[in-house]
């Protein structure tokens, strides 16, 4: 038998109050694409942090072997030297620097005392060719889309002679083209001898690309399936992940006509004075009471800009057009007013501008509506714990207590906290921007059920999503956005992926 | 088992306990080196009175740093406002009970002015408050230029910096030489402390939160009560509570309540923790910025009053380096430059540590040059300790 490239044996990692990894064993053969799946909080990211030395040797128990040799990584740089590179979902590039500076950041090409920029640029161009990114290496990273930034990250890893490439939810923020592109590249790298570990909640992708899949549940390895010998299907994976079968991905819902208009937007245009370009061009949109309106479109088409422009316009775009809430024309000057008139917006970027990571779960849940649990300006601590605990139970947020600091929660559970925060505001119109990004199948189903309950009670939801199946499965009506314009409006019944993609790229 | 429990509790609270231990160690060393002079009633009274004007600044500064800003203008602003108070009293003959609120209002106004470019235009507070530093220094020199030091003859005003709470229970026979009112207040504080700790423990238990093992809880109560009792005893040995201490305690209690219990306090920490998320949660970051700088201005005015009253005069150099003392005390007290972290009680404790150091070194007649070096060393040590213990807990 050939020795695996990587073997992790009996890894146990505990945090105060949480056993994140409980005796995990995990083995990866050379030159394969190995996917790691499991529910939110199953321990996938933690396992990779152990592997990369972010959690140093000694802070966990168990063994790590690379090509049969035991390793004791004390830091990321130790594992980098051993040929391991991790690409996190939050990309770690410096936006103000050029591509070539980023690629060689931390291991600059030297010429005596100084940096050899010519050589740097030459080598950077080479790396970009390897990741098949045809772009000037002097371009600033800020000016690239997420997909391309990810490729730059991979180029950076390749420049360090990576043998084992780890990608933690790389596709969560990618559109389908970028995704396909990334997978092509991974297959190509595989031929060149680079082994990859891929964490993803998108099971379709997993099936498509994996040579082997390891499933984690509650900090333990459930099984490892091999594409050659085992059946890998969505049903099988889901069953292994959650321990039971889930037949419907989308809970059934009745689709009615929604005649009572809650929100109406007419001739809505926005101009970004910082970038000096229009971001929205005369958008018209209507949301009925109790309706789920889906907004589809490619990354950068203006979906998020639209949401933010109606949610009090925190980016200070120059706006024109009118907004009616329950038939009343409203001028909303800031998010505070938006919230008090009944609009809420759960952002797509929960870490950047959604949550206060250094505060605990209960503080994050109540922050947008503290008055509700306050008497004459004083927060009622008991009421706060009660409210937070209710949401923790209702949304099944996995945390030892509501006093846990949010930064310590797994990605998916952070997303649920951010959702809880807006549900507590009880808005009339709830805008959800990528509500299920990074969320596992079971939790997705829970969130969809919650959405259905909310609209049944008369709330209206605008759901922005890059996942077309989700848009199709949940929306009553769909708007398609492209380049700041609405290029189509569809009833759920008449929509399908092709039509939407056509409109989104027109 | 006891050792293990202790270890666990200690490592979870090392940051907080570490500060108390540092304070006790510093006090112990000075007590020993000064041959008992340091903890004498007289010196402690002096130390507390000296700390007042720094403590109120540190309280204000802590909140400024919590929202990721800084205010360098407070030193000379305090000096300038002290001088204005002196001029109002001496030259314009305005009654003291009008002067004080007017000065406090001016302080708030000055804070709001510093905040304006920060909140409305996104200009770094380092710059606007540096400008304030220059401007108030100039203004201070201007108003004291003609006369030089202005002596303040007003006895009521000067009481604020030098006076003591009268003893309501004065008696020549019972505990002679001790300030009975102080003892009574100390006793009340002690009882209140025990009751509130017990209530909070009950509440935590009812939520099934982790609490200290019972015997450790008792140990904690006993040792902290002993400290309260000892402080009351020492303080009562020399005229008792001074008005400065009363003012500082009231300020700290008010701010402690504001920051830990109110909606406003939570908004302040939210802005510090993630300004963008706070804005999107319906909190006006610019409003909070104005508010925190306004409060800083208020504390600055109070500091100016305390200092002028203590010296019974306004001097052209008043306020020099106060801002840096306040910033140092805040950092020793555990505020984080990354924002969103820092306690008002920490600011008070930080001030006491810092002032103990100055006071003790003075008692020892340490060369002033060396004093600066030692203060710098302690500041760095405190912040390193803070950062490393915070990382260790992750
Ligand atoms: N620093 C930490 N302190 C305390 N608990 C932690 C810490 N990091 C992770 N955890 C806990 O460990 C568990 C595993 O988290 P991990 O991030 O590995 O999950 P995950 O499988 O990556 O989930 P997701 O799919 O949501 O990203 C979770 O319950 C999480 O709350
Ligand atoms: Mg994760």
Confidence of residue A466 (pLDDT cuts 50, 70, 90): confident
Distance from the Cα of residue A277 to its chain's centroid: 27
Among the partner residues B267, B269, B277, nearest to A353 by beta-carbon distance: B277
Counting the structural domains of chain A, the total is 3
Report CA torsion sign: A159, A163, A168, A172: positive
Tell me the average pLDDT across B74-94.
95
Rounded distance, CA A178 to CA A300, Å? 13
Q: Give the Cβ contact number of residue B223 at 10 Å.
A: 10
Q: Is A465 part of a structural domain of the chain?
A: yes
DSSP one-letter string for A163-182: SEEEEESTTTT--HHHHHHH
Q: Is B340 on the interface with A (CB under 8 A)?
A: yes
| Ligand 1 mutation target, pool A12, A408, A417, most atoms within 8 A of CB | A408
A466 lines ligand 1 (CB under 6 A): no
| DSSP 8-state class, residue B314 | E
Most confident range (mean pLDDT) of A100-114, A489-503, B6-20 is A489-503
- Does ligand 1 have an atom closer than 6 angstroms to the CB of A302? no
Residues A424-449: what's their mean pLDDT?
Answer: 89
Q: Which residues on chain B are in Cβ contact (under 8 Å) with A340?
A: 282
Atom of ligand 1 nearest to the CA of A415: 26
B207 touches chain A (CB under 8 A): yes
Give the strands of the sheet with A18-28, arranged side by side: A18-28, A6-15, A61-66, A69-71
- Mean pLDDT in chain B? 90
- The region, left, alpha or beta by phi > 0 then psi within -120 to 50, assigned to residue A65 is beta
Residues contacting B152, CB < 8 A, separation 6+ = B85, B86, B89, B90, B158, B308, B309, B312, B313, B314
The reply to whether A461 and A387 lie within a common domain is no
- How far apart CA B379 and CA B351 sit, in angstroms, is 11
Residues of A in contact with B261 (CB under 8 A): 378-379, 381
pLDDT above 80 for B171:
no
Residue nearest to atom 1 of ligand 1 (CA): A408
Average pLDDT over residues A213-229: 90
For the structural domain made of B2-163+242-393, what CATH number should be given? Answer: 1.10.3470
Rounded Cα distance between B50 and A174, Å, is 61
Average pLDDT over residues A155-175: 86
pLDDT in tens, A322-340: 999 999 999 999 999 999 9
The verdict on A279 and A369 lying in the same domain is no
Q: Mean of the pLDDT values across residues A377-388?
A: 92
Which of A426, A453, A472 is the last residue before a domain boundary? A426
CA–CA distance from B155 to each of A220, B159, B326 (Å)? 75, 6, 28
Say how far apart CA A463 and CA A133 lie, in whole Å.
Answer: 32
A286 and A154 within one domain: no
Q: What six digits make up the tokens of B120?
A: 């409305």
pLDDT value for B394: 43
Determine the pLDDT at residue B292. 98
User: Would you state the pLDDT for residue B4?
Assistant: 74
Length of chain A: 506
Distances (CA, A) of B357 to A308, A409, B27: 52, 42, 8
Place B391 in a pLDDT band, splitting at 50, 70 and 90: low
Residues facing residue A64 across a β-bridge: A8, A71
**Which SS3 state, helix, strand or coil, does residue A318 take?**
strand
Q: How many CB atoms lie within 10 A of CB B324?
A: 14
Within a domain: A1 = no
- E strand or H helix that includes residue B196: helix B180-206
What pLDDT was estimated at residue B114?
Answer: 96
Alpha-carbon distance of A226 to A182, in angstroms, equals 22
Ligand 1 and A412: CB distance under 6 A: yes
Average pLDDT over residues B159-166: 89
Q: Are residues A274 and A404 in the same domain?
A: no
What's the rounded mean pLDDT across residues A207-224?
91
Over the stretch B259-278, which tens digit does the pLDDT of each residue have?
Answer: 999 999 999 999 999 999 99
- Tell me the residue range of the domain where A472 lies: 248-342+429-506
Average pLDDT of A479-483? 92
Give the pLDDT of residue A320.
93
Is the C-beta atom of A415 inside 6 A of ligand 1? no
Return the closest-CA partner of residue A3 out of A53, A51, A65: A65
Q: Which helix (H) or strand (E) holds B140?
A: helix B125-145
A58 and A82 in a single domain? The answer is yes
Q: Is the CB of A409 under 6 A from ligand 1?
A: yes
> Region B237-256: what's the mean pLDDT?
92
Interface ipTM:
0.83
d(CA B252, CA B245): 10
Q: Which two tokens stand for residue B324?
A: 């840096």
Can you give the pLDDT at residue A313?
92
Counting from 1 in the atom list of ligand 1, the atom nearest the Cα of A409 is 31
Whether pLDDT at A266 is above 60: yes
**Is pLDDT above 80 for A175?**
no
The closest of A41, A38, A43 to A22, measured between CA atoms, is: A43
Q: What are phi and psi of A478, to 5 degrees?
A: -130, 130
Q: Is the CB of A88 under 6 A from ligand 1?
A: no
A314–B contact, CB cutoff 8 A: yes
3-class DSSP state of B32 = helix
- Name the CA radius of gyration of chain A, rounded: 24
CA distances from B28 to A8, A491, B25, B333 (A): 52, 78, 5, 20
Mean pLDDT of A5-29: 90
CA torsion A326-A331-A335-A339 (nearest 10°) is -20
A54 touches chain B (CB under 8 A): no
Say yes or no for a CB contact (<8 Å) between B270 and A358.
no
**What average pLDDT score do residues A159-182 get?**
85
CA distance linking residue A427 with residue A312, whole number of Å: 14
Average pLDDT over residues A366-378: 92
Q: Quote the pLDDT of residue A246.
A: 67
Do the domain assignments include residue A497? yes
Ligand 1: centre distance to CA B120 (Å): 39
Is B286 touching A (CB cutoff 8 A)? no
* A484 pLDDT higher than 80: yes
What pLDDT, on the 0 to 100 scale, is given for residue A114? 83
Q: Per the structure block, which two tokens stand in for A204?
A: 């379709």
pLDDT of A301 > 90? The answer is no
Average pLDDT of the residues of chain A? 89
Instruction: Let me know whether A173 and A108 are in one domain.
Output: yes
Q: Identify whether residues A457 and A476 lie together within a single domain.
A: yes
Residue B125 CA, chain-centre distance (Å), reads 22
Residue of chain B whose Cα is closest to the Cα of A373:
B263
pLDDT in tens, A58-101: 999 999 999 989 999 998 889 988 999 998 866 678 888 899 98
Query: How far is A33 from A504, CA to CA, in rounded Å?
Result: 32
Q: Are residues A138 and A206 in the same domain?
A: yes
A113 with A203, same domain?
yes
Bigger pLDDT: B14 or B24?
Answer: B24
Are A352 and B276 in contact (CB < 8 Å)?
A: yes
Strand partners, A285: A265
pLDDT in tens, B274-327: 999 999 999 999 999 999 999 999 999 999 999 999 999 999 999 999 999 999
Q: In the block, which residue shows the tokens 């920029």?
A: A117
Smallest CA separation from ligand 1 atom 12, residue = A20
Asked if the Cβ–Cβ distance from A371 to B263 is below 8 Å, we say yes
Cα gap A447→A40, rounded to integer Å:
13
Q: Whose CA is nearest to atom 7 of ligand 1?
A: A408
Which of B207, B279, B280 best tests the A interface by mutation, with the highest count of A CBs <10 A? Answer: B280
Q: Which ligand is nearest to the CA of A417?
A: 1
Structure token digits, residue A45: 């990211």
Q: Within a domain: residue A327?
A: yes
Domain limit, last residue, from A426, A456, A479: A426
Report the C-alpha gap between B199 and A85 in whole angstroms.
51
Residues A420 and A433 in one domain: no
Distance from the Cα of B277 to chain A's closest Cα (Å) equals 4
What does pTM read for this prediction? 0.86
Any idea what DSSP says for residue A141?
Answer: G
Stated as kind and residue range, the H or E segment containing B150 is strand B150-151
A420: which 2 tokens? 């809880």
Point out the domain boundary residue: A242, A261, A276.
A242
- Domain containing A434 — which CATH number? 3.40.50.300
pLDDT digits (tens, 9 = 90+) for B103-114: 999 999 999 999
> SS in 3 state form for A60-78?
CEEEEEECCEEECCCCHHH
Distance CA A442, CA A162 (A): 34
- Count of residues for chain B? 394
Q: What is the pLDDT of residue B393?
A: 46
Tens of pLDDT, residues B24-81: 888 899 999 998 889 888 899 889 998 999 999 999 999 999 999 999 999 999 999 9
* Predicted confidence (pLDDT) per residue in A90-127, tens digit: 667 888 889 998 888 878 888 777 888 888 888 899 88
Q: Give percent above pLDDT 90 in chain B.
A: 60
Q: What CA–CA distances, in Å, run from B307 to A95, B45, B109, B110?
A: 48, 16, 20, 18
Q: Which of A13, A41, A437 for mutating ligand 1's site (highest number of atoms within 8 Å of CB)?
A: A41
Confidence check: pLDDT of A23 > 60: yes
Residue A207 lies in a domain: yes
- Domain spans in chain B, listed from the N-terminal domain onward: 2-163+242-393
Task: Give chain A's end-to-end CA distance (angstroms, integer).
Answer: 54
Confidence of residue B166 (pLDDT cuts 50, 70, 90): confident
User: CB B352: neighbour CB atoms within 10 A?
Assistant: 24
Phi and psi, residue A45, nearest 5°: -65, -40
Residue A332 is predicted with a pLDDT of 93
Taking an 8 Å cut-off on Cβ atoms, the answer to whether A379 and B263 are in contact is: yes
Strand partners, A63: A9
Determine whether A266 is exposed, middle or buried from the number of CB atoms within 10 Å of its CB (0-12, 13-18, 19+): middle
A40 lines ligand 1 (CB under 6 A): yes
Cβ A189 under 6 angstroms from ligand 1? no
CA–CA separation, A153 and A131 (whole Å): 10
Atom of ligand 1 nearest to the CA of A42: 21
Instruction: Encode A240-284 in three state secondary structure.
Output: HHHCCCCCCCCCCCCCCCCCCEEEEEEEEEEEECCCCEEEEEEEE
- Best A340, A351, A358, A426 member to test B by mutation, with max B CBs in 10 Å, is A358
- Residue A36: inside a domain, yes or no? yes
Residues 6 or more apart whose CB falls under 8 angstroms from that of A296 comprise A465, A466, A468, A471, A478, A479, A480, A481, A500, A504
In angstroms, the first-to-last Cα distance of chain B is 25
The Cα–Cα gap between B218 and B223 comes to: 9
Which ligand 1 atom is the nearest neighbour of the CA of A219?
Answer: 14
Which residue, among B391, B267, B80, B299, has the nearest Cα to A54 in the 3D structure?
B391
In 10 A of CB A273, how many CB atoms? Answer: 10
E strands along A291-339, which residues?
A: 292-297, 318-325, 328-330
> How far apart (Å, rounded) are the C-alpha atoms in residues B164 and B185?
14
| Mean pLDDT, residues A151-169 | 89
pLDDT, residue B322, reads 95
Q: Is B262 on the interface with A (CB under 8 A)?
A: yes
DSSP code, position A156: H
Nearest ligand, measured from the Cα of A60 = 1
Protein residue with its CA nearest to atom 6 in ligand 1: A408
The verdict on A52 and A166 lying in the same domain is: yes
Beta bridge partners of A479: A295, A489
Look at ligand 1, atom 31, and give the residue with the nearest C-alpha. A409
C-alpha dist (Å) from residue B334 to A404, B17, B51, B62 = 21, 12, 18, 9
Q: Which residue of B has its CA nearest to A374?
A: B263
């Amino acid at each position: 038998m050939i020795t695996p490239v990587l073997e992790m044996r009996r890894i146990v990692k505990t945090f105060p109050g949480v056993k994140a990894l409980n005796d995990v064993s995990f083995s990866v053969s050379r030159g394969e694409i190995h996917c790691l799946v499991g529910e939110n909080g199953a321990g996938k990211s933690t396992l990779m942090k152990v592997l990369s030395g972010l959690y140093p040797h000694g802070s966990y128990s168990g063994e790590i072997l690379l090509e049969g040799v035991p390793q004791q990584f004390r830091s990321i740089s130790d594992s980098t030297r051993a040929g391991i590179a991790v690409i996190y979902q939050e990309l770690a590039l410096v936006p103000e620097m050029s591509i070539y500076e980023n690629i060689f950041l931390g291991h600059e090409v030297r010429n005596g005392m100084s940096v050899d920029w010519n050589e740097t640029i030459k080598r950077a161009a080479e790396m970009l060719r390897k990741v098949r990114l045809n772009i000037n290496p002097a371009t600033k990273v800020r000016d690239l889309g997420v997909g391309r930034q990810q490729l730059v990250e991979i180029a950076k890893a390749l420049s360090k002679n990576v043998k084992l490439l780890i990608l933690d939810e790389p596709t969560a923020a990618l559109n389908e083209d970028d995704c396909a592109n990334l997978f092509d590249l991974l297959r190509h790298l595989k031929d060149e001898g680079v082994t990859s570990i891929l964490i993803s909640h998108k099971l379709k992708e997993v099936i498509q690309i994996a040579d082997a899949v390891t499933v984690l549940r509650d900090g333990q390895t459930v099984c490892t399936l091999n594409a050659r010998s085992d059946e890998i299907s969505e049903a099988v994976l889901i069953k292994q992940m959650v321990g039971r079968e889930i037949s419907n991905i989308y809970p059934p819902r009745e689709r009615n006509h929604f005649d009572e208009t809650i929100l109406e937007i007419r001739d809505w245009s926005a101009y970004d004075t910082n970038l000096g370009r229009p971001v929205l061009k005369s958008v018209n949109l209507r949301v009925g009471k109790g309706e789920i309106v889906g907004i589809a479109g490619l990354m950068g088409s203006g979906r998020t800009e639209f949401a933010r422009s109606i949610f009090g316009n925190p980016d200070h775009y120059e706006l024109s057009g009118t907004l009616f809430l329950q038939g009343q024309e409203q001028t909303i000057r800031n998010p505070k007013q938006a919230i008090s008139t009944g609009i809420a917006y759960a952002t797509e970027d929960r870490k950047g501008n959604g949550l206060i990571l250094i505060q605990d779960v209960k503080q994050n849940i109540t922050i947008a509506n503290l008055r509700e649990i306050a008497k004459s300006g004083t927060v009622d601590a008991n009421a706060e714990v009660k409210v937070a605990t209710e949401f923790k139970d209702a949304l099944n947020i996995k945390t030892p207590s509501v006093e846990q600091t949010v930064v310590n929660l797994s990605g998916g559970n952070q997303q649920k906290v951010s959702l809880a925060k807006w549900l507590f505001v009880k808005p009339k119109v709830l805008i959800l921007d990528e509500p299920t990004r990074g969320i596992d199948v079971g939790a997705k189903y829970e969130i969809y059920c919650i959405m259905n309950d909310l609209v049944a009670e008369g709330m209206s939801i605008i759901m922005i999503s890059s996942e077309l199946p989700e848009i199709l499965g949940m929306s009553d009506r769909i708007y398609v956005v492209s380049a700041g314009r609405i290029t189509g409006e569809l009833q759920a019944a008449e929509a399908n992926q092709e039509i939407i993609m056509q409109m989104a790229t027109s | 088992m006891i050792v293990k429990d202790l270890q666990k509790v200690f490592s979870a609270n090392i940051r907080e306990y570490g500060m108390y231990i540092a304070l006790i160690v510093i006090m112990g060393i000075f007590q020993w080196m000064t041959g008992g002079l340091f903890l004498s009633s007289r010196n402690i009274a002096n130390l507390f009175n000296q700390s007042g004007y720094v403590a109120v600044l540190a309280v204000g500064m802590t909140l400024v740093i919590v929202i990721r800003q800084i205010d360098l203008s407070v030193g000379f602003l305090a000096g300038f406002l002290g001088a204005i108070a002196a001029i109002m009293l001496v030259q314009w003959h305005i009654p003291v009970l009008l002067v004080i609120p007017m000065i406090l209002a001016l302080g708030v106004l000055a804070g709001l002015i510093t905040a304006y470019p920060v909140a409305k235009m996104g200009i770094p507070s380092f710059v606007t408050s540096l400008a304030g530093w220059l401007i108030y220094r100039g203004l201070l020199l201007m108003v004291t230029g003609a006369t030089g030091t202005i002596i303040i003859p007003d006895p009521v005003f000067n009481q604020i910096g030098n006076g003591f709470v009268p003893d309501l229970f004065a008696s020549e026979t019972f505990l002679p030489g001790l300030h009975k009112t102080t003892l009574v207040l100390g006793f009340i504080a002690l009882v209140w402390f025990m009751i509130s700790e017990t209530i909070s423990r009950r509440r935590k238990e009812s939520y099934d939160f982790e609490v200290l093992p019972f015997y450790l809880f008792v140990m904690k109560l006993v040792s902290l009560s002993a400290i309260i009792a000892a402080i009351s005893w020492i303080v009562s040995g020399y005229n008792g509570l001074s008005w400065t201490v009363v003012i500082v305690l009231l300020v700290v209690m008010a701010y402690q309540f504001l920051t830990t219990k109110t909606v406003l306090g939570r908004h302040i920490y939210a802005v510090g923790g993630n300004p963008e998320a706070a804005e999107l949660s319906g909190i006006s970051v610019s409003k909070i910025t104005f508010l925190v700088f306004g409060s800083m201005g208020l504390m600055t005015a109070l500091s100016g009053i305390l200092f002028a009253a203590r010296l019974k005069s306004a001097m052209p150099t008043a306020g020099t380096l106060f801002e840096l003392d306040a910033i140092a005390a805040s950092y020793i007290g555990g505020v984080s430059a990354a924002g969103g972290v820092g306690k008002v009680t920490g600011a008070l404790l930080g001030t006491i540590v810092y002032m103990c150091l100055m006071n003790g070194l003075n008692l020892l007649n340490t060369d002033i040059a060396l004093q600066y070096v030692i203060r710098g060393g302690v500041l760095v040590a405190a912040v390193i300790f803070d950062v490393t213990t915070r990382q260790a807990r992750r």
